[in-house]
Structure 1
Amino acid sequence: MSPSTRLQVSQSQVFRMGHVISVLQLSGEELDEHLLQTAQSNPLLVVRRRRQTAIRAGSAHDLIDSTFADRPTSLYDHVLRELAGLAGRGAAMERLILALVEELEPSGWLGRPVPQIAETLGLSVQLVESALDLVQRRVSPAGIFARDLRDCLRLQLEDQGLWDDAAGRVLAHLEVLGTGGAEALERATGLDAATIATRLHRLRRLDPKPGSQFATDLTLMREADVRIEARGDGWVPIFRTSFETVVAVPPGASGDSSPEMRRALGEARALKQALDLRQGALKQIVQVMIEVQGAFFRDGPEALQPLTQAMIAAKTGFHLSTVSRVLNGLLIEGPNGIIPARTLCARRSALCSTDGPSKPKVLARLRALLLAECASHPLSDVQLSDALRAEGLAVSRRVVARYRHELGFAPASQRRLRA
Structure 2
Amino acid sequence: MSFSTRLQIGQAPVFRMGHVINVLQMSGAELEDHLMQAARENPFLVMRRRRNAVVRAGNALDLPDVDRADAPTSLFDHVLRELAGLLAHGGAMERLVLALVEELEPSGWLGRGAAEIAAELGLAETLVAQALRLVQHRISPAGLFARDLAECLRLQLEDQGLRDAEIDKLLDCLELLETGGLAALTEATGLSGDRVEHHLARLRRLDPKPGVRFSTDLTLLRAPDVRVEPRGDGWIAIVKPTFETEVSVLPEVTGGSSPELRLALKQARALKQALDLRKGALEQIMHYMVDVQSDYFRDGPEALHPLSRSVIAEGTGFHLSTVCRVLNGLLVEGPHGIFEARMLCAQTASRGAEGGPSKPRVLSRLRAALSEESPACPLSDQGLADRLCAEGLRVSRRVVAKYRHELGFAPASQRRLRA
TM-score, length-scaled by structure 2 = 0.61
**Equivalent residue number for residue 215 of structure 1:** 214
Q: Structure 1 115/237 Cα, relative in aligned 2: closer, same or farther at 3 Å?
A: closer
Contact 1:305–1:357 at 8 Å: present in 2 too?
A: yes
**Equivalent residue number for residue 168 of structure 2:** 125
Q: Note the residue ranges of structure 2 that are not aligned, 5 or more in a row.
A: 64-73, 77-105, 109-139, 146-151, 179-208
Give per-residue Cα distances to partners, 1:187-244, cap 9 Å, x unaligned: xxxxxxxxxxxxxxxxxxxxxxx95586263333441452324335543333331797
Instruction: Specify which of 2, 5, 9 is matched with residue 8 of structure 2.
Output: 5
Q: CA shift at 1:57, angstroms? A: 5.8
Residues in 2 aligned to 1:3 and 1:378: alpha-carbon distance in whole angstroms? 86
**Equivalent residue number for residue 395 of structure 2:** 395
Give per-residue Cα distances to partners, 1:253-312, cap 9 Å, x unaligned: 479632211221121011011011000000110111111223334444322211011211
RMSD after superposition: 4.0
Q: CA shift at 1:49, angstroms? A: 4.3
TM-score, length-scaled by structure 1 = 0.61
Q: Structure 1 259/288 Cα, relative in aligned 2: closer, same or farther at 3 Å?
A: same
Q: Structure 1 28/59 Cα, relative in aligned 2: closer, same or farther at 3 Å?
A: farther
**Equivalent residue number for residue 144 of structure 1:** none
**Equivalent residue number for residue 289 of structure 1:** 289
**Equivalent residue number for residue 156 of structure 2:** 111
Code of the residue aligned with 1:226 in structure 2: it is D
Contact 2:42–2:264 at 8 Å: present in 1 too?
A: yes
Q: Which moved more, 1:283-292 or 1:318-327?
A: 318-327
SS of the counterpart of 1:404?
helix
Q: CA shift at 1:374, angstroms? A: 1.3
Code of the residue aligned with 1:105 in structure 2: it is A
Q: Structure 1 218/125 Cα, relative in aligned 2: closer, same or farther at 3 Å?
A: same
Code of the residue aligned with 2:414 in structure 1: it is Q
Aligned pairs for 1:131-170 within 5 A: 131=174
Aligned pairs for 1:52-63 within 5 A: 52-54=51-53, 58=57
Residues in 1 aligned to 2:365 and 2:39: alpha-carbon distance in whole angstroms? 51
Q: CA shift at 1:338, angstroms? A: 3.5
Residues in 1 aligned to 2:227 and 2:262: alpha-carbon distance in whole angstroms? 41
Contact 1:226–1:240 at 8 Å: present in 2 too?
A: yes
Residues in 2 aligned to 1:339 and 1:118: alpha-carbon distance in whole angstroms? 40
**Equivalent residue number for residue 45 of structure 1:** 45
Q: Structure 1 213/405 Cα, relative in aligned 2: closer, same or farther at 3 Å?
A: closer
Code of the residue aligned with 2:172 in structure 1: it is E
Give per-residue Cα distances to partners, 1:88-112, cap 9 Å, x unaligned: xxxxxxxxxxxxxxx9637355322
Code of the residue aligned with 1:5 in structure 2: it is Q
The count of residues paired between Structure 1 and Structure 2 equals: 305
Contact 1:60–1:222 at 8 Å: present in 2 too?
A: no
SS of the counterpart of 1:111?
helix
SS of the counterpart of 1:393?
coil
Q: Note the residue ranges of structure 1 that are not aligned, 5 or more in a row.
A: 65-72, 81-102, 136-209
Residues in 1 aligned to 2:359 and 2:291: alpha-carbon distance in whole angstroms? 19
* Identity %, equivalent residues: 50
Contact 2:27–2:325 at 8 Å: present in 1 too?
A: no
Contact 1:25–1:328 at 8 Å: present in 2 too?
A: no
Q: Return the structure number with greater helix share.
A: 1
SS of the counterpart of 1:241?
coil
Contact 2:39–2:45 at 8 Å: present in 1 too?
A: yes
